[in-house]
Protein backbone atom coordinates (compact mmCIF):
# COMPACT_ATOMS: atom_id res chain seq x y z
CA UNK A 1 0.00 0.00 0.00
CA UNK A 2 1.28 3.48 -0.91
CA UNK A 3 0.03 6.88 0.35
CA UNK A 4 -2.95 5.27 2.05
CA UNK A 5 -4.53 4.10 -1.19
CA UNK A 6 -5.03 0.76 -2.85
CA UNK A 7 -6.75 -0.80 -5.80
CA UNK A 8 -9.06 -3.65 -4.89
CA UNK A 9 -10.12 -5.34 -8.09
CA UNK A 10 -11.97 -8.45 -9.14
CA UNK A 11 -14.25 -9.93 -11.78
CA UNK A 12 -17.99 -9.42 -11.96
CA UNK A 13 -18.53 -13.18 -11.98
CA UNK A 14 -16.84 -13.87 -8.67
CA UNK A 15 -18.14 -16.53 -6.29
CA UNK A 16 -18.84 -16.14 -2.61
CA UNK A 17 -15.23 -16.82 -1.52
CA UNK A 18 -13.94 -14.27 -4.05
CA UNK A 19 -16.43 -11.67 -2.83
CA UNK A 20 -15.39 -12.21 0.78
CA UNK A 21 -11.73 -11.87 -0.15
CA UNK A 22 -12.33 -8.63 -2.07
CA UNK A 23 -14.47 -7.22 0.77
CA UNK A 24 -11.77 -8.12 3.29
CA UNK A 25 -9.12 -6.40 1.15
CA UNK A 26 -11.29 -3.32 0.79
CA UNK A 27 -11.88 -3.06 4.54
CA UNK A 28 -8.19 -3.55 5.32
CA UNK A 29 -6.52 -1.34 2.72
CA UNK A 30 -9.18 1.29 2.08
CA UNK A 31 -11.11 1.54 5.35
CA UNK A 32 -8.04 0.87 7.50
CA UNK A 33 -9.93 -1.67 9.61
CA UNK A 34 -8.02 -4.14 11.75
CA UNK A 35 -8.02 -7.83 10.98
CA UNK A 36 -10.08 -8.49 14.10
CA UNK A 37 -12.66 -5.91 13.05
CA UNK A 38 -12.88 -7.43 9.57
CA UNK A 39 -13.30 -10.90 11.03
CA UNK A 40 -16.21 -9.67 13.15
CA UNK A 41 -17.96 -7.93 10.25
CA UNK A 42 -17.58 -10.87 7.87
CA UNK A 43 -18.34 -13.53 10.47
CA UNK A 44 -15.08 -15.43 9.96
CA UNK A 45 -11.98 -16.12 12.02
CA UNK A 46 -8.98 -13.82 12.10
CA UNK A 47 -6.82 -16.55 10.55
CA UNK A 48 -9.24 -16.64 7.62
CA UNK A 49 -8.88 -12.88 7.19
CA UNK A 50 -5.09 -13.16 7.17
CA UNK A 51 -5.30 -15.90 4.54
CA UNK A 52 -7.70 -13.87 2.37
CA UNK A 53 -5.49 -10.78 2.51
CA UNK A 54 -2.45 -12.83 1.54
CA UNK A 55 -4.36 -14.38 -1.34
CA UNK A 56 -5.55 -10.97 -2.51
CA UNK A 57 -1.93 -9.82 -2.70
CA UNK A 58 -0.88 -12.99 -4.49
CA UNK A 59 -3.62 -12.49 -7.07
CA UNK A 60 -2.54 -8.87 -7.65
CA UNK A 61 -5.97 -7.71 -6.55
CA UNK A 62 -4.40 -5.02 -4.36
CA UNK A 63 -2.66 -2.26 -6.28
CA UNK A 64 -1.78 1.41 -5.81
CA UNK A 65 -4.86 3.32 -7.04
CA UNK A 66 -8.58 2.71 -6.94
CA UNK A 67 -9.50 2.21 -10.58
CA UNK A 68 -11.90 -0.69 -11.03
CA UNK A 69 -15.66 -0.58 -11.19
CA UNK A 70 -15.77 -3.24 -8.51
CA UNK A 71 -13.99 -0.93 -6.11
CA UNK A 72 -16.79 1.62 -6.52
CA UNK A 73 -19.44 -1.06 -6.11
CA UNK A 74 -17.83 -2.38 -2.94
CA UNK A 75 -17.69 1.18 -1.61
CA UNK A 76 -21.44 1.52 -2.18
CA UNK A 77 -22.09 -1.81 -0.51
CA UNK A 78 -20.11 -0.86 2.56
CA UNK A 79 -21.82 2.54 2.74
CA UNK A 80 -25.24 0.88 2.63
CA UNK A 81 -24.22 -1.57 5.34
CA UNK A 82 -23.03 1.21 7.63
CA UNK A 83 -25.91 3.59 6.94
CA UNK A 84 -28.76 1.11 7.30
CA UNK A 85 -27.28 -1.43 9.71
CA UNK A 86 -27.27 -4.25 7.16
CA UNK A 87 -25.34 -7.46 7.57
CA UNK A 88 -24.68 -7.43 3.84
CA UNK A 89 -25.48 -5.28 0.83
CA UNK A 90 -25.16 -6.49 -2.75
CA UNK A 91 -25.10 -3.81 -5.44
CA UNK A 92 -25.54 -4.67 -9.11
CA UNK A 93 -23.75 -2.52 -11.71
CA UNK A 94 -26.12 -0.63 -14.04
CA UNK A 95 -25.12 1.26 -17.16
CA UNK A 96 -27.32 4.36 -16.73
CA UNK A 97 -29.82 5.66 -14.17
CA UNK A 98 -32.55 5.29 -16.81
CA UNK A 99 -31.85 1.59 -17.45
CA UNK A 100 -34.30 -1.00 -16.20
CA UNK A 101 -32.64 -2.26 -13.00
CA UNK A 102 -34.65 -5.47 -12.69
CA UNK A 103 -32.43 -7.76 -14.84
CA UNK A 104 -29.27 -6.69 -13.00
CA UNK A 105 -30.84 -6.97 -9.55
CA UNK A 106 -32.45 -10.28 -10.47
CA UNK A 107 -29.08 -11.72 -11.52
CA UNK A 108 -27.50 -10.70 -8.21
CA UNK A 109 -30.49 -12.10 -6.34
CA UNK A 110 -30.42 -15.45 -8.10
CA UNK A 111 -26.70 -15.91 -7.44
CA UNK A 112 -27.01 -14.94 -3.79
CA UNK A 113 -30.00 -17.18 -3.17
CA UNK A 114 -28.26 -20.12 -4.84
CA UNK A 115 -25.40 -19.83 -2.36
CA UNK A 116 -27.52 -19.07 0.70
CA UNK A 117 -30.21 -21.74 0.63
CA UNK A 118 -29.45 -24.85 2.69
CA UNK A 119 -31.09 -28.18 3.45
CA UNK A 120 -33.56 -28.06 6.32
CA UNK A 121 -34.46 -24.40 5.78
CA UNK A 122 -37.93 -22.90 5.88
CA UNK A 123 -38.06 -19.92 3.54
CA UNK A 124 -40.92 -17.44 3.18
CA UNK A 125 -41.16 -15.72 -0.20
CA UNK A 126 -42.97 -12.71 -1.63
CA UNK A 127 -43.53 -11.93 -5.27
CA UNK A 128 -43.06 -9.35 -8.02
CA UNK A 129 -41.13 -8.83 -11.26
CA UNK A 130 -37.74 -8.74 -9.58
CA UNK A 131 -38.21 -12.03 -7.77
CA UNK A 132 -39.77 -13.74 -10.78
CA UNK A 133 -36.92 -12.52 -12.99
CA UNK A 134 -34.38 -14.03 -10.59
CA UNK A 135 -35.55 -17.59 -11.30
CA UNK A 136 -33.33 -18.15 -14.39
CA UNK A 137 -30.28 -17.12 -12.35
CA UNK A 138 -30.85 -19.61 -9.55
CA UNK A 139 -28.54 -22.60 -9.77
CA UNK A 140 -31.05 -25.41 -9.29
CA UNK A 141 -29.93 -28.19 -6.97
CA UNK A 142 -31.55 -30.59 -4.56
CA UNK A 143 -31.89 -29.66 -0.90
CA UNK A 144 -33.34 -32.09 1.60
CA UNK A 145 -36.22 -31.10 3.89
CA UNK A 146 -36.48 -27.71 2.17
CA UNK A 147 -39.77 -25.85 2.58
CA UNK A 148 -40.98 -22.72 0.77
CA UNK A 149 -43.95 -20.80 2.15
CA UNK A 150 -45.74 -18.19 0.06
CA UNK A 151 -46.31 -15.16 2.27
CA UNK A 152 -49.23 -13.77 0.25
CA UNK A 153 -52.48 -15.09 -1.16
CA UNK A 154 -53.43 -14.72 -4.81
CA UNK A 155 -53.56 -18.24 -6.25
CA UNK A 156 -56.79 -17.45 -8.08
CA UNK A 157 -55.05 -14.97 -10.38
CA UNK A 158 -54.18 -16.63 -13.69
CA UNK A 159 -51.12 -14.53 -14.45
CA UNK A 160 -47.49 -15.50 -14.91
CA UNK A 161 -46.21 -13.15 -12.23
CA UNK A 162 -48.27 -13.95 -9.15
CA UNK A 163 -47.43 -15.05 -5.60
CA UNK A 164 -48.29 -18.71 -6.10
CA UNK A 165 -46.30 -19.10 -9.32
CA UNK A 166 -43.10 -17.68 -7.89
CA UNK A 167 -43.31 -19.68 -4.64
CA UNK A 168 -43.93 -22.91 -6.51
CA UNK A 169 -41.12 -22.42 -9.02
CA UNK A 170 -38.73 -21.33 -6.27
CA UNK A 171 -39.48 -24.54 -4.38
CA UNK A 172 -38.98 -26.58 -7.54
CA UNK A 173 -35.52 -25.08 -8.08
CA UNK A 174 -34.38 -26.82 -4.89
CA UNK A 175 -36.67 -29.86 -5.13
CA UNK A 176 -38.44 -28.63 -2.01
CA UNK A 177 -42.03 -28.53 -0.80
CA UNK A 178 -44.17 -25.48 -1.54
CA UNK A 179 -46.91 -24.17 0.74
CA UNK A 180 -49.41 -21.72 -0.75
CA UNK A 181 -52.10 -19.52 0.79
CA UNK A 182 -55.19 -20.62 -1.21
CA UNK A 183 -57.03 -17.30 -1.08
CA UNK A 184 -57.23 -14.03 -3.01
CA UNK A 185 -54.54 -11.49 -2.20
CA UNK A 186 -57.18 -9.08 -0.86
CA UNK A 187 -60.62 -9.95 0.54
CA UNK A 188 -63.74 -7.85 0.93
CA UNK A 189 -63.97 -7.63 4.72
CA UNK A 190 -62.22 -8.35 7.99
CA UNK A 191 -64.92 -10.95 8.68
CA UNK A 192 -64.06 -12.80 5.46
CA UNK A 193 -60.38 -12.78 6.34
CA UNK A 194 -61.07 -14.09 9.83
CA UNK A 195 -63.33 -16.83 8.49
CA UNK A 196 -60.75 -17.96 5.93
CA UNK A 197 -58.01 -18.15 8.53
CA UNK A 198 -60.04 -19.82 11.25
CA UNK A 199 -62.36 -22.10 9.26
CA UNK A 200 -60.34 -23.06 6.19
CA UNK A 201 -57.25 -24.53 7.79
CA UNK A 202 -54.91 -21.57 7.23
CA UNK A 203 -53.81 -21.31 10.85
CA UNK A 204 -51.00 -23.81 10.32
CA UNK A 205 -49.71 -21.96 7.26
CA UNK A 206 -49.56 -18.69 9.17
CA UNK A 207 -47.93 -20.41 12.15
CA UNK A 208 -45.14 -21.59 9.86
CA UNK A 209 -44.18 -17.93 9.49
CA UNK A 210 -43.09 -17.95 13.14
CA UNK A 211 -40.39 -20.55 12.48
CA UNK A 212 -38.92 -19.30 9.20
CA UNK A 213 -35.17 -19.34 8.70
CA UNK A 214 -35.25 -16.74 5.92
CA UNK A 215 -37.60 -14.47 3.99
CA UNK A 216 -37.07 -13.29 0.42
CA UNK A 217 -39.20 -10.29 -0.49
CA UNK A 218 -39.42 -7.33 -2.82
CA UNK A 219 -41.35 -4.09 -2.57
CA UNK A 220 -43.76 -2.33 -4.87
CA UNK A 221 -43.74 1.37 -5.66
CA UNK A 222 -46.88 3.46 -5.61
CA UNK A 223 -45.91 6.62 -7.49
CA UNK A 224 -47.07 5.27 -10.84
CA UNK A 225 -49.99 3.13 -11.91
CA UNK A 226 -47.66 0.86 -13.86
CA UNK A 227 -45.81 -0.39 -10.81
CA UNK A 228 -48.84 -0.29 -8.56
CA UNK A 229 -51.12 -2.46 -10.66
CA UNK A 230 -49.02 -5.59 -10.16
CA UNK A 231 -51.58 -8.33 -10.58
CA UNK A 232 -54.42 -5.86 -11.13
CA UNK A 233 -55.65 -6.22 -7.56
CA UNK A 234 -56.33 -2.54 -6.80
CA UNK A 235 -58.02 0.39 -8.48
CA UNK A 236 -56.66 3.83 -9.32
CA UNK A 237 -59.00 5.35 -6.73
CA UNK A 238 -57.50 3.11 -4.05
CA UNK A 239 -53.99 4.03 -5.18
CA UNK A 240 -54.78 7.73 -4.92
CA UNK A 241 -56.31 7.26 -1.47
CA UNK A 242 -53.20 5.46 -0.28
CA UNK A 243 -50.93 8.20 -1.67
CA UNK A 244 -53.05 10.80 0.10
CA UNK A 245 -52.39 8.98 3.37
CA UNK A 246 -48.65 9.06 2.79
CA UNK A 247 -48.05 5.61 1.30
CA UNK A 248 -44.81 5.25 -0.65
CA UNK A 249 -44.93 1.52 -1.39
CA UNK A 250 -46.05 -1.90 -0.30
CA UNK A 251 -44.52 -5.04 1.12
CA UNK A 252 -46.79 -8.05 0.57
CA UNK A 253 -49.62 -5.53 0.05
CA UNK A 254 -48.95 -3.91 3.42
CA UNK A 255 -48.78 -0.23 2.46
CA UNK A 256 -46.32 1.92 4.37
CA UNK A 257 -45.00 5.48 4.51
CA UNK A 258 -41.50 6.98 4.29
CA UNK A 259 -40.89 6.19 7.97
CA UNK A 260 -41.82 2.54 7.54
CA UNK A 261 -45.16 2.83 9.35
CA UNK A 262 -48.29 1.20 7.93
CA UNK A 263 -50.71 3.82 6.63
CA UNK A 264 -54.27 4.20 7.86
CA UNK A 265 -56.19 2.55 5.05
CA UNK A 266 -58.63 -0.42 5.15
CA UNK A 267 -56.53 -2.39 2.65
CA UNK A 268 -53.97 -3.16 5.33
CA UNK A 269 -56.61 -5.09 7.26
CA UNK A 270 -57.93 -6.97 4.22
CA UNK A 271 -54.74 -8.39 2.74
CA UNK A 272 -54.24 -12.14 3.00
CA UNK A 273 -50.56 -12.12 3.86
CA UNK A 274 -48.29 -12.74 6.80
CA UNK A 275 -47.96 -9.76 9.13
CA UNK A 276 -44.75 -7.78 8.82
CA UNK A 277 -44.13 -7.91 12.58
CA UNK A 278 -43.82 -11.69 12.34
CA UNK A 279 -41.40 -11.46 9.42
CA UNK A 280 -39.11 -9.11 11.35
CA UNK A 281 -38.35 -12.00 13.73
CA UNK A 282 -36.85 -14.09 10.92
CA UNK A 283 -33.04 -14.40 11.21
CA UNK A 284 -32.32 -13.80 7.49
CA UNK A 285 -34.41 -11.07 5.84
CA UNK A 286 -33.51 -10.53 2.19
CA UNK A 287 -34.96 -7.48 0.43
CA UNK A 288 -34.34 -7.19 -3.30
CA UNK A 289 -35.60 -4.16 -5.21
CA UNK A 290 -34.61 -0.98 -7.02
CA UNK A 291 -35.67 1.68 -9.49
CA UNK A 292 -36.07 5.44 -9.70
CA UNK A 293 -39.66 5.31 -8.48
CA UNK A 294 -38.80 3.18 -5.43
CA UNK A 295 -36.33 5.33 -3.51
CA UNK A 296 -38.86 6.42 -0.89
CA UNK A 297 -40.25 2.89 -0.68
CA UNK A 298 -36.77 1.44 -0.15
CA UNK A 299 -36.05 3.94 2.61
CA UNK A 300 -39.34 3.14 4.32
CA UNK A 301 -38.68 -0.59 4.00
CA UNK A 302 -35.41 -0.21 5.87
CA UNK A 303 -37.47 0.57 8.96
CA UNK A 304 -40.48 -1.60 8.15
CA UNK A 305 -38.78 -4.96 7.58
CA UNK A 306 -35.24 -4.09 8.79
CA UNK A 307 -33.59 -6.35 6.19
CA UNK A 308 -30.38 -8.12 7.04
CA UNK A 309 -29.50 -8.31 3.33
CA UNK A 310 -30.29 -5.69 0.67
CA UNK A 311 -29.85 -6.38 -3.04
CA UNK A 312 -30.25 -3.37 -5.33
CA UNK A 313 -28.62 -1.56 -8.24
CA UNK A 314 -25.88 1.05 -8.02
CA UNK A 315 -28.06 4.04 -8.90
CA UNK A 316 -30.75 3.09 -6.39
CA UNK A 317 -27.98 2.67 -3.81
CA UNK A 318 -26.69 6.18 -4.49
CA UNK A 319 -30.18 7.68 -4.28
CA UNK A 320 -30.77 5.97 -0.94
CA UNK A 321 -27.47 7.19 0.44
CA UNK A 322 -28.00 10.73 -0.87
CA UNK A 323 -31.44 10.84 0.76
CA UNK A 324 -29.91 9.82 4.10
CA UNK A 325 -26.96 12.22 3.90
CA UNK A 326 -26.94 15.06 6.46
CA UNK A 327 -28.28 18.32 5.04
Query: Is 282 found in the same domain as 234?
Result: yes
- Whole-model pTM? 0.80
Q: Would the pLDDT of 203 be above 50?
A: yes
Which residues lie across from 152 on neighbouring strands? Answer: 273
Query: Is 96 found in the same domain as 235?
Result: yes
Q: What is the pLDDT of residues 61-111, one digit of tens each?
A: 876 444 455 678 989 999 999 999 999 999 998 878 888 899 999 999 999
Please report, for the domain that includes residue 282, its CATH number: 3.40.50.1360
Q: What is the pLDDT of residues 189-200, one digit of tens each?
A: 889 888 888 877
Q: What is the pLDDT of residues 138-188, one digit of tens each?
A: 988 999 999 999 998 875 554 556 778 899 999 999 999 999 888 888 888
- What integer best gives the mean pLDDT of the chain? 86
Q: H helices of 223-304, where? A: 225-228, 236-244, 267-270, 276-279, 295-304
In a domain, 77, yes or no: no
Query: Is 116 found in the same domain as 52?
Result: no
Q: What is the pLDDT of residues 205-222, one digit of tens each?
A: 888 889 999 999 999 988
Please report, for the domain that includes residue 51, its CATH number: 1.10.10.60
- Domain holding 10, by residue range, is 1-67
| CB 117 within 8 Å of CB 216 | no
Query: Is 113 found in the same domain as 25?
Result: no
pLDDT of residue 199: 79
Query: Is 302 found in the same domain as 188?
Result: yes
Q: What is the dihedral of CA 275, 237, 259, 305, to 10 degrees?
A: 30
Q: What is the pLDDT of residues 278-310, one digit of tens each?
A: 999 999 999 999 999 999 999 999 999 999 999
Amino acid sequence: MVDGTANVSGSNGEGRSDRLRIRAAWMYFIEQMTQNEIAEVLGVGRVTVVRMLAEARARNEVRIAIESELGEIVSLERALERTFGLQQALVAPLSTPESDPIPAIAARTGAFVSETMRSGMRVGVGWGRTLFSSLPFIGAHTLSDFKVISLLGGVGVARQINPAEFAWRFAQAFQGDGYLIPTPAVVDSVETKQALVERCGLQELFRMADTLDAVLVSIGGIASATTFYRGGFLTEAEREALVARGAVGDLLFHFFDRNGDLVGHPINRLVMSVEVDRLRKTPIRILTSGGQEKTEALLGAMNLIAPTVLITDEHSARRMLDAQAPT
